[in-house]
């Protein structure tokens, strides 16, 4: 079965890795120069819909996967699906349900989910939302992550913590920086575009924190593999942290927020913290004091995640076959 995966984003590793595992192709359809201003975003979505239809007409896939949000990407794919008579699958990220920008569009999401072969979600809470709206949900906590050629980080004698973030509203950046200031012998490498950080936060950056800026896949993969631990935190419940499972698939232990969904997903090879500076400090020290045991736990967790993915893959193929 020929599969095309559509993402209305400048980049998305989850989309790329999902397409790879399915033997399909991944395409980022994004007209960034139009921005997201209310006066221009409609034109951007219209342009991306047109580019999506042209791409799908050219590839003529047997099934289409589409990342959501935005919900309008799924709407564009649905139009293609009913025109060509092919099934489509919605890969719904947590923001599709919980971000204020998209929660107002849940009515449209429910309509599209009822017409999709299935909707991929990362946890049971989101699956219940889909099912209550009449759609079919497939639970996929994460997708195996394989990096090609990587560029390892230059190491020193310091304990290295990679902080995977995007400076989004749900990330406790100030708390992370305050904790880092109290751990001067630990080296922190913080990803993401620092232009999104704001001057107030930039003034809080201590000497042992390096802002890496946006990294290439080779650099990012090298960072996850080289770091002693990877930290990625969220203040939002029911959120699967992609940076955390990307790290575990490299055998690197993680420091994640103390939410039920993350406790279940990272039940070994991980330290869970409550996002406060004191808890983050304690989490780093705990990871540092027993680094070998946590890395061994991450490797065991990776093996179990690979087994879980084989089940998810079978469920996705069954859903597509049922709608083909």
Looking at residue 248, what DSSP letter applies? H
Residues 188 and 233: beta-carbon distance below 8 Å: no
Residues 89 and 66: beta-carbon distance below 8 Å: yes
Residues 253 and 287: beta-carbon distance below 8 Å: yes
Looking at residue 10, what DSSP letter applies? S
**159-304 domain in CATH 3.40.109.10?**
no
Shared fold status for 3-140 and 159-304: yes
C-alpha to C-alpha distance for 201 and 211, rounded to whole angstroms: 12
C-alpha to C-alpha distance for 29 and 52, rounded to whole angstroms: 7
- Could you give the angle at which helices 41-59 and 71-84 cross, rounded to 10 degrees? 30
C-alpha to C-alpha distance for 273 and 258, rounded to whole angstroms: 5
Please tell me the pTM assigned to this model.
0.84
Number of alpha carbons in the 13 Å side-chain half-sphere of residue 46: 6
Q: What is the pLDDT along the chain (324 residues), one digit of tens a residue?
A: 899 999 999 988 889 989 999 999 999 999 989 888 888 999 999 999 999 999 999 999 999 999 999 999 999 999 999 999 999 999 999 889 988 889 889 999 999 999 999 999 999 999 999 999 999 999 998 999 988 888 888 877 889 999 999 999 899 999 999 999 999 999 999 999 998 888 888 899 999 999 999 898 899 999 999 999 999 999 999 999 999 999 999 999 999 999 999 999 999 999 999 999 999 999 999 999 999 999 999 999 999 999 999 999 999 988 988 876
Quote the tokens at residue 168: 């989004």
- The vertex-133 CA angle with 130 and 136, nearest 5°, equals 50
Residues 97 and 126: beta-carbon distance below 8 Å: yes
DSSP state letters, 49-108: HHHHHHHHHHH--SEEEEEESSHHHHHHHHHHHHHHT--EEEEE-THHHHSHHHHTTHHH
**Would you state the pLDDT for residue 324?**
62
- String of b and e for 165-197 (b: at least 16 CB within 10 Å)? bebeebbbbebbbbbbbebeebbbbbbbebeeb
Which residue shows structure tokens 């279940």? Answer: 264
**What phi, psi does 229 have (nearest 5°)?**
-155, 155
**Would you state the pLDDT for residue 101?**
86
The superfamily CATH assigns to domain 3-140 is Glycogen Phosphorylase B; (3.40.50.2000)
Indicate the domain borders of the chain: 3-140, 159-304
C-alpha to C-alpha distance for 50 and 46, rounded to whole angstroms: 6
């Amino acid at each position: 079965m020929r599969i095309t995966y559509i993402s209305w984003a400048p980049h998305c590793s989850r989309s790329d890795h999902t397409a790879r595992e399915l033997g399909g192709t991944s395409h980022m359809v994004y007209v960034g120069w139009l921005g997201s201003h209310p006066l221009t975003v409609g034109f951007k979505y219209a342009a991306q819909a047109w580019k999506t239809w042209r791409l799908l007409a050219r590839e003529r896939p047997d099934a289409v996967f589409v990342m959501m949000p935005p919900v309008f990407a799924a709407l564009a794919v649905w139009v293609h699906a009913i025109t060509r008579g092919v099934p489509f699958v919605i890969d719904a990220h947590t923001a599709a349900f919980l971000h204020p920008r998209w929660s107002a569009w849940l009515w449209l999401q429910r309509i599209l989910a009822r017409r999709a072969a299935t909707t991929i979600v990362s946890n049971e809470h989101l699956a219940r939302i889909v099912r209550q709206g009449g759609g079919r949900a497939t639970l996929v906590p994460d997708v195996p992550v394989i990096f090609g050629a990587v560029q390892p980080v230059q190491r020193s004698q310091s304990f290295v913590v990679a902080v995977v973030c995007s400076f989004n509203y749900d990330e406790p950046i100030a708390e992370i920086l305050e904790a880092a200031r109290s751990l001067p012998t630990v080296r922190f490498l913080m990803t993401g575009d620092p232009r999104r950080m704001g001057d107030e936060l930039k003034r809080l950056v201590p000497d042992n924190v390096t802002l890496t800026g946006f990294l290439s896949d080779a650099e990012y993969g090298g960072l996850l593999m080289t770091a002693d631990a990877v930290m990625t935190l969220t203040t939002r419940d029911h959120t699967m942290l992609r940076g955390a499972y990307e790290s575990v698939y490299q055998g690197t232990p993680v420091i994640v927020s103390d939410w039920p969904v993350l406790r279940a997903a990272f039940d070994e090879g991980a330290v869970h913290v409550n996002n406060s500076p004191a808890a983050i400090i304690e989490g780093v020290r705990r990871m540092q004091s027993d680094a070998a045991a946590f890395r061994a736990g991450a490797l065991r967790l990776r093996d179990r995640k690979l087994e879980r993915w084989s089940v998810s893959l079978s469920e996705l193929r069954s859903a597509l076959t049922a709608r083909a």
